[in-house]
Amino acid sequence: MYESDHAAYQQRPRQSAGILRTLLSVIGLVAMVLVLSWGLRTFVFQAYEIPSGSMEETIKPGDMVFSEKITYYSSDPAPGDIVTFEDPDPDHAGRILIKRVIAVGGQVVDLRDGRVYVDDVLQDEPYTRGEPSFPLTSLPGTTVDYPYTVPAGSLWVMGDNRTNSQDSRYFGAIAERSVTGKAIFIYWPLTDVGVL
Q: Rg (Cα) of the chain, in Å, rounded?
A: 26
pLDDT in tens, 60-94: 999 999 999 999 999 999 999 999 999 999 899 88
Percent of the chain residues past pLDDT 70, beyond the cut: 87
- Asked if residue 70 and residue 160 are part of one domain, the reply reads yes
How many CB atoms are closer than 10 A to CB 99? Answer: 24
Q: How many whole angstroms separate alpha carbon 182 and alpha carbon 83?
A: 5
- Asked if residue 36 and residue 87 are part of one domain, the reply reads no
- Asked if residue 63 and residue 132 are part of one domain, the reply reads yes
Is 99 among the residues known to form the active site? Answer: yes
- Asked if residue 137 and residue 77 are part of one domain, the reply reads yes
Is 60 among the residues known to form the active site? Answer: no
pLDDT in tens, 92-132: 988 999 999 999 999 999 999 999 999 999 999 999 999 99
- Asked if residue 152 and residue 166 are part of one domain, the reply reads yes
Find the domain containing 149 and state its range. 46-195
112: alpha, beta or left? (left if phi > 0; alpha if psi -120 to 50): beta
Please state whether the predicted TM-score (pTM) of the whole model is above 0.85: no
Length of the chain: 196
Single out the catalytic residue among 67, 99, 133, 168: 99
pLDDT on residue 43: 63
Single out the catalytic residue among 54, 67, 154, 168: 54
